[in-house]
Structure 1
Amino acid sequence: MVTFDQALDKAIDAILHCYPDIQWSDIRLVRDMQGKLFVVLPDELVEDRSEMERLNEVLTGALQHYAGSASPAACLSDTLSGAELLKEPAIVYYRGDHAVHVIERRAMGENWLLEPGQPDLSHPPRFVFFSLKGGVGRSTALALWARQLCQEGKSVLVVDMDLEAPGLGAQLLEQSGKPLYGVADWLVEDLVGNPADSLVPDMAQQSPVVPAGLWVVPAFGSTTDQAPQNMLAKLARAYLEKPNSEGSQLFAQRLQRMLQALEYHYQPDVVLVDSRAGLHETVATTLLHLDAEVLCFAVDLEVTWQGYRYLFSHLTQLAQQKLQQGDWRDRFKMVSARAMPENFERFLDRSYGLWTDTLYDESSEEVGGLSFDVRDEAAPHYPLIIPRVDVFEAFEPCRDLRRMHEAQIAAVFGAFFSGLQSCLEASRDQN
């Protein structure tokens, strides 16, 4: 039996068997929503149709149920897309020296397949707080850094993108102080073609945890609280692509438009985004397509490292073409959450091993290469640290800050804030 993990290699072997000197740059392997494979060859390669028949025979035998059809190979001109197929987003799968372009047909869109674009200097600095699982203190760290920035005189916009487990709205706003609308409300209205930007003035409210400057956009606004039976129905539609006359607009593109509208209206100095946890399709947007610094929260557990290895191994397929300005991989930063001092060296070693095996290049001396020493504190793998302290377990700022001393916050989060300040200054220098 041929399995999913074997099918792509078997397809490549079949192609090499029939065309041993093939050039891979104009070859496309298309994997459909079930995982079945089709091979598309340039017309000039197929001078003899009997060669194509031979390839179809070999592919069908090699792939078994993963053959896209009885004839899984075709010429480019035989496809509905024609030459446009070569322009579609594709991951790059390396098989030895062969760089194979694979087009993924997916039920949930292409957000994980799009490489981040060039840096955009027109918006304020953005920071995304991400974790594979909840309960690591990600939202608490975001809320307290937002408060710290406001105390320094900055205006901060906080956006709760964790639509399935919303928390920041409840943490930073009183229940009676929520705005009318939230992220999900904007997304569902935009989907049907309503002027969603008209909601923006009613999407954020000032948090009471500081005198001024902290604007909070919840996942769902008070209109959803008044009709809670609609929440799951909204959620099911919020993530969808938006059809239009030019095809469709991906979730990443929709979220970018929403964030730009919020920034234009509220004019923040810094934007903090609380990402959904896990590896859902929508997480690709917050990690890759918001032009943001990404903080990857991790606890030193095998399940955490395994999850990040799944994520980074996929992202490796997007890191083949280096950007002209900077490198999106260098905007990721590990965070050792709920950390124990005696475990730091183990965390550092495991983080360095993860990055070395996946997103780092073999040498920084190659063109556009990304590589660091294990002890380089500026490197993505070198973690910012938040020690574990019981007083911050189940912490709710609106309820608990009034009994908290500033010295307690500084002792736990001071080093973390300092590290983020360096990232913020670097982002400002770039802008």
Structure 2
Amino acid sequence: MTTVLFEHALQQAINFVQTHQADLGKPVLLVRDLFGRIRIAIERSPDEPTSIVHTQLAKTFSDTLQNYSPTPDAVFIYGNDLFAPEAVFNSPDRHRFEDSDIFVLDRQITNQDWLRGPLQTTEQQTHPPRATLFGIKGGVGRSTALAVWAWHLAKNGKRVLVLDLDLESPGISSMLLPASYAPKFGIVDWFMEDALGQAEMVLPDMVGNSPLVTTGMGEIRVVPAAGASEGDYIAKLSRTYLDLNHGENTVTFAERLLALLEQLEHQEQPDVVLLDSRAGLHDIAAISITRLDSLALLFAINTPQTWQAYRFLFTHWQRWGQKQLPGFHNNLKIIAGMVPEIGVADYLERCRQSAYDLFADTLYEEDNGTNNDVFNFAEMLSDAPHYPLKIHWNRAFLEFDPIYQQELFDTTLVQAVYGSFLEDATLLTLGENL
């Protein structure tokens, strides 16, 4: 007998349910635990004849899935035997398998937020435009682009709020704030104090004013990952991602991050908010991209490693999140970073083709001409999510330190490297040209 591995177990469980749907009823929920073991959840216990059938099915299911099933006596979960059945059968992480009557609840330690919908705002008002800058791989010029964009917006009179959410590897805050301008506290301090109900003690001292712009222009207000008074960053970071239990209610890390963002927006009254998200498939990136109602600028360089990494994410969205996240994918936009100095047109064509293949294979829906809401874009449409905005590579920005190299903001140089990106990204975010 072939050993069942993780990558096959769920599909085998789905096949089993489809084969025995008449005896299991509809709907059926498959619950996969942290070790990958799968159980069958049904809302009510069956009557005695069906119970005997379930006992037989449990043995077959356990034999079929081998180590990815519990023992036969633990295969079935019945809702009326649970203390809080709604936490299972109405979980926000329950996802329908394709168009069937089978649902899957995948218990994961991390990465649940990639499939959760946008958070409901706690403020009874609209928020300022937000943009998240994200790279599936590091070293693609994301933070440098954010610094230049913040400068461009401020130069044109905008009040810009920047959050350094790359907590494991802070960067943008040190690019925009010299040590003498750093505020007393940072993002990890807020989460530390929020857990004890005293976040208001640090909020007023979390924002520094970047000296990158001069009087009479706009402003760049920066919220660093760590404040100037940082004593033990690692100890605070290790406690940052906590969900909080308040009686019967749980406040998730995502909800706490939204609360922080809204409090800062209320305090600072920015025209636009730029979020520097950490690279990779991390929870904070998931929240920034899918849950904060922000434009998601996805940085890429045209390498197989980049597109394969994005394919892992997009395939995950395709399989489980397409119907659960309506409208979310309209916020996506590919950024071609570090476009080489030679062969520009050919490079951009290859990058566009790679991005189109990614979207077409995963998120784009089949357009049969009868559904006006279908998510599908022509390959050469410049407004399409896959059609990349471009940022050119330039040696001058290789070791960019904007505070002490302000000559690099010479209009000609910035225009040559970032001009089209600044124009297009600003139009997408603010709906206006500056």
What pairs with 1:6-405 in structure 2 (closer than 5 Å)?
6-20=8-22, 26-43=27-44, 48-70=50-72, 71-92=74-95, 94=97, 97-98=99-100, 100-108=102-110, 110-117=112-119, 122-191=126-195, 193-211=196-214, 212-224=218-230, 227=231, 230-316=232-318, 317-321=320-324, 323=326, 327-340=327-340, 341=344, 342-363=346-367, 365-366=370-371, 368-405=373-410
Aligned equivalents of 2:92, 2:71: Cα separation in 1: 23
- Residues 1:343 and 1:150: Cα distance change in structure 2 (over 3 Å): same
> C-alpha separation between the residues in 2 aligned to 1:259 and 1:269?
14
Q: Is the 8 A contact 1:125 1:427 kept in 2?
A: no
The amino acid of 1:216's aligned partner reads V
- Paired with 1:270 and 1:57, the residues of 2 have a C-alpha distance of 58
1:109 shift after superposition: 7.1
1:262 and 1:298 map into 2 onto residues whose CA distance is 30
Counterparts in 2 of 1:98 and 1:147: CA distance versus 1, 3 Å: same
More displaced 10-residue stretch of structure 1: 404-413 or 123-132 = 404-413
What is the correspondence of 1:407-422 to structure 2 with a 5 Å cutoff?
407-422=412-427
CA distance in structure 2 between the aligned counterparts of 1:109 and 1:133, rounded to whole angstroms: 17
| CA displacement, residues 303-361 of structure 1 (integer Å, 9 cap, x when unaligned) | 110110111111221121464xxx11010100000113121111111100101111111
Distance 1:114 1:124, change over 3 A: same
Structure 1 pair 32–210 and aligned structure 2 pair: CA distance change class (3 A): same
For the residues of structure 1 that align with 2:157 and 2:25, how far apart are their CA atoms? 58
Letter matched to residue 42 of structure 1: E
Q: Once the two structures are superposed, what CA deviation does each residue of 1:119-146 show, in whole Å capped at 9, x if it has no partner?
A: 9961100000000122111001001111
Range moving further from structure 2, 383-392 or 43-52 = 43-52
Distance in 2, matches of 1:203 and 1:179, equals 5
- Post-superposition shift, 1:410? 0.8
The range that moved more, 108-117 or 279-288, is 108-117
The count of residues paired between Structure 1 and Structure 2 equals 418
1:366–1:80 distance in 2 versus 1, CA, 3 Å: farther
Q: Is the 8 A contact 1:386 1:412 kept in 2?
A: yes
CA distance in 1, matches of 2:144, 2:37: 43
- What is the CA-CA distance between 1:239 and the residue it aligns to? 1.1
1:175-199 CA distance string (max 9 Å, x none): 11100111111111112x2321331
Are the aligned partners of 1:241 and 1:251 in contact in 2 as well (CA < 8 Å)?
yes
User: What is the identity percentage for the equivalent residue pairs of Structure 1 and Structure 2?
Assistant: 34
Q: CA RMSD in A?
A: 2.2
Q: Which moved more, 1:311-320 or 1:108-117?
A: 108-117
Question: Does the 8 Å contact 2:131/2:296 carry over to 1?
Answer: yes
> How far apart, CA to CA, are the structure 1 residues paired with 2:364 and 2:111?
27
Distance 1:360 1:354 in 2: 9
Normalization by structure 1: what TM-score? 0.91
Runs (5+) with no aligned partner, structure 2 = none
CA distance in 2, matches of 1:129, 1:354: 19
Cα distance in 1 between the residues matched to 2:380 and 2:408 = 38
Kindly provide the amino acid, as one letter, of the partner of residue 305 in structure 1.
W
SS of the residue 1:222 aligns to: coil
SS in 1 for 2:239: helix
Normalising to structure 2: TM-score of the pair? 0.91
Change (3 A) 1:124 1:34: same
The residue type paired with residue 199 of structure 1 is V
- Partner Cα separation in structure 2 for residue 102 and residue 267 of structure 1: 42
Offset, 1:23: 6.2
Deviation at 1:118, TM superposition (A): 6.7
107-116 or 300-309: bigger deviation:
107-116
Classify 1:306/1:48 alpha carbon distance in 2 versus 1 (closer, same or farther; 3 Å): same
